[in-house]
């Protein structure tokens, strides 16, 4: 009797295991079928076209909402070197939301072409990619595509003669991952505190290291004319540095993200940015624009920013 009972238990357990395997197989096949067709993402380039690629509030898979604000102005420069992009909202369920700011190097030729090329390549790669990977792996993959695309655009003889900064922010499942190259910045605004998340790749950092090692005087960190020069940017062949967080940042309702070119943070003090960020993203972008224009700097650089706010479904519906 005892032998017969154990035998029956084994048969039931084996049948249950087989059912689980079959269900997992069906689930995986359905998932594959759901994402088989590539979707082309939208770009919000220097010309300001495709403004309807993402507007207002966007539904996230976990019932959170994302509000977006955008700032994109030429300043007093003869051309627009900045470019920015936001992934298409149809990709949020499967890919998350990706925002990009690229600042073409105005002191070099074709900075506008490089920044646009980088953003186009990243958005296309983001939309087309169907693999299973972490957000960090996806950003590395996209950065690699951008580097290859920009290097191909410039050709071997023009490397280091033109370039662009890059900052990408990927929000997936209420978590932020980012990757940056150059001196464009990403900030987190939480509880009325504005915190810079990335580190700029500028010559001042090398000067600081030389000063620590006793190779130069401390004051040279701040007096050297090269202190703001980029030491890593797209368009120099191999990248020298990138910046990424060790782990994704868990976002909370009310958190805001600010991606911006140096034309914004060189014109506005951090306190002024914090005051602007108290408003909803659209109004915050408008306030930044008004403050910069009011200052009327004769050499005002192109200035571009993307502001994103996490908010729960009930708040967004009010």
Q: How confident is the model at residue 8 (pLDDT cuts 50, 70, 90)?
A: low
Q: What is the pLDDT of residues 291-318, one digit of tens each?
A: 999 999 999 999 999 999 987 654 443 3
Given a cut of 60, whether residue 159 has pLDDT beyond it is: yes
Longest dimension (CA), the chain: 95
In a domain, 11, yes or no: no
Q: Which of 172, 183, 115 is nearest to 149 (CA)?
A: 115
Q: Which of 298, 273, 299 is nearest to 285 (CA)?
A: 273
At 4 the pLDDT is: 54
At 316 the pLDDT is: 40
At 51 the pLDDT is: 32
In a domain, 265, yes or no: yes
Given a cut of 80, whether residue 81 has pLDDT beyond it is: yes
For residue 315, how far is the Cα from the chain centroid? 25
At 90 the pLDDT is: 87
Question: What is the number of other CB atoms lying within 10 angstroms of the CB of residue 146?
Answer: 27
At 17 the pLDDT is: 57
Q: How confident is the model at residue 107 (pLDDT cuts 50, 70, 90)?
A: low
Q: How confident is the model at residue 15 (pLDDT cuts 50, 70, 90)?
A: low
Residues 189 and 257: their CA atoms lie apart, in Å, by: 6
In a domain, 46, yes or no: yes
At 157 the pLDDT is: 78
Q: Which residue has the tokens 């073409």?
A: 104
Q: Which domain holds residue 178?
A: 41-317
At 170 the pLDDT is: 97
Q: What tokens does 131 get? A: 């693999």
- CB within 8 A of 230, min separation 6: which ones? 105, 163, 165, 182, 183, 201, 202, 203
Residues 289 and 62: their CA atoms lie apart, in Å, by: 33
Count of domains observed in the chain: 1
In a domain, 18, yes or no: no
At 35 the pLDDT is: 30
At 10 the pLDDT is: 54
Q: What is the mean pLDDT of residues 8-33?
A: 49
In a domain, 13, yes or no: no
Report the chain's mean pLDDT, rounded to a whole number: 82
In a domain, 198, yes or no: yes
Q: What are phi and psi of 205, to 5 degrees?
A: -65, -40
Considering only 2-16, 167-181, 274-288, which range has the smallest mean pLDDT? 2-16
Given a cut of 50, whether residue 191 has pLDDT beyond it is: yes
Q: What is the mean pLDDT of residues 180-204?
A: 95
- CB within 8 A of 250, min separation 6: which ones? 174, 175
Considering only 26-35, 65-74, 88-97, 138-147, which range has the smallest mean pLDDT? 26-35
Residues 16 and 19: their CA atoms lie apart, in Å, by: 5
> Could you write out the three-class secondary structure of 232-261?
CCECCCCCCCCECCCCCEECCCCCEEEEEC
Q: What are phi and psi of 196, to 5 degrees?
A: -75, 130
In a domain, 22, yes or no: no
Q: What is the mean pLDDT of residues 169-177?
A: 94
At 156 the pLDDT is: 83
Q: What is the pLDDT of residues 217-254, one digit of tens each?
A: 999 999 999 998 999 999 988 898 999 999 999 999 99
**Which has more confidence, 48 or 261?**
261
Q: What is the mean pLDDT of residues 271-276?
A: 97
* CATH code assigned at 247: 3.60.40.10
Q: What is the pLDDT of residues 36-61, one digit of tens each?
A: 222 223 344 333 323 333 333 444 44
In a domain, 228, yes or no: yes
Considering only 56-70, 100-114, 181-195, 201-215, which range has the smallest mean pLDDT? 56-70
Given a cut of 50, whether residue 101 has pLDDT beyond it is: yes
Residues 14 and 34: their CA atoms lie apart, in Å, by: 31
- CB within 8 A of 166, min separation 6: which ones? 100, 101, 102, 118, 143, 146, 179, 180, 181, 182, 184, 233, 234
Cβ contact 51:68 at 8 Å: no
Given a cut of 50, whether residue 99 has pLDDT beyond it is: yes
Q: How confident is the model at residue 63 (pLDDT cuts 50, 70, 90)?
A: very low
């Amino acid at each position: 009797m005892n032998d017969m009972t154990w035998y029956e238990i084994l048969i039931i357990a084996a049948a249950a295991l087989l059912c689980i395997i079959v269900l997992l197989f069906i689930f995986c096949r359905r998932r594959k079928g759901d994402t088989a067709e590539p979707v082309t993402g939208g770009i919000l380039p220097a010309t300001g076209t495709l403004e309807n690629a993402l507007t207002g509030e966007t539904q996230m898979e976990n019932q959170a909402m994302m509000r977006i604000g955008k700032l994109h102005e030429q300043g007093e420069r003869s051309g627009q070197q900045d470019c920015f992009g936001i992934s298409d909202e149809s990709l949020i369920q499967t890919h998350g939301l990706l925002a990009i700011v690229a600042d073409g190097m105005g002191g070099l030729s074709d900075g506008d072409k490089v920044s646009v090329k980088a953003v186009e390549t990243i958005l296309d790669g983001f939309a087309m990619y169907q693999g299973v990977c972490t957000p960090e792996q996806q950003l590395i993959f996209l950065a690699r595509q951008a580097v290859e695309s920009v290097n191909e655009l410039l050709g071997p003889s023009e490397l280091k003669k033109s370039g662009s900064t890059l900052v990408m922010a990927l929000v997936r499942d209420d978590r932020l991952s980012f990757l940056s190259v150059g001196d464009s910045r990403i900030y987190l605004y939480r509880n009325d505190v504005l915190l810079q998340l990335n580190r700029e790749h500028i010559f001042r950092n090398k000067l600081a290291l030389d000063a620590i090692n006793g190779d130069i005087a401390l004051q040279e960190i701040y007096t050297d004319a090269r202190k703001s020069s980029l030491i890593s940017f797209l368009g120099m062949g191999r990248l020298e540095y990138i910046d990424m967080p060790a782990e994704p940042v868990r976002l909370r309702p009310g958190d805001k993200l600010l991606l911006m070119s140096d034309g914004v943070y060189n014109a506005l003090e951090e306190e002024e940015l914090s005051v602007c960020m108290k408003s909803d993203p659209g109004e915050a972008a408008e306030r930044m624009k008004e403050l910069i224009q009011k200052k009327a700097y004769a050499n005002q650089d192109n200035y571009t920013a993307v502001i994103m706010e996490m908010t729960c479904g009930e708040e967004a519906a009010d």
